Amino acid sequence: AQSVTQPDIHITVSEGASLELRCNYSYGATPYLFWYVQSPGQGLQLLLKYFSGDTLVQGIKGFEAEFKRSQSSFNLRKPSVHWSDAAEYFCAVGGYSSASKIIFGSGTRLSIRP
């Protein structure tokens, strides 16, 4: 069965510190992988996506993610967080189909310590 696991419900990091949010997926074929961010009271904004090629993907706002097929992981990283990065982050997996549904993880809430 297709699934996405985000093992960390809530993470707090200090401003300026590095960040890694974990994501593991289960998918029967080569997946598309996404990270979305949701600021309080807002919809979801796409941070980055992987669908082929280089396994290290660069996104907006200084984020990057690395696809590791052997570990079924797609962890999100940022070298130095800013207070404005406080939000909820969702990992998602989809497939190669024109009517493909995307499966979302349960989210990781990120708080920033001043």
Partner 1 sequence: DVKVTQSSRYLVKRTGEKVFLECVQDMDHENMFWYRQDPGLGLRLIYFSYDVKMKEKGDIPEGYSVSREKKERFSLILESASTNQTSMYLCASSLGQGATEETQYFGPGTRLLVL
Q: Which helix (H) or strand (E) holds 108?
A: strand 108-113
Q: How many helices (H) and strands (E) does the chain have?
A: 0, 12
Least distance from partner 1 to the Cβ atom of residue 17, Å: 26
Give the total of residues touching partner 1 (CB under 8 A). 25
Q: Interface with partner 1 includes 12 (CB under 8 A)?
A: no
- The tokens for 97 are 């189909």
> Which of 13-21, 56-64, 73-81, 98-106 is the region at the interface with partner 1 (rule: CB under 8 A)?
98-106
**Which one, 14 or 101, has the nearer CB to partner 1?**
101
Query: How many other C-beta atoms lie within 10 A of the C-beta of residue 59?
Result: 18
Q: Interface with partner 1 includes 32 (CB under 8 A)?
A: yes
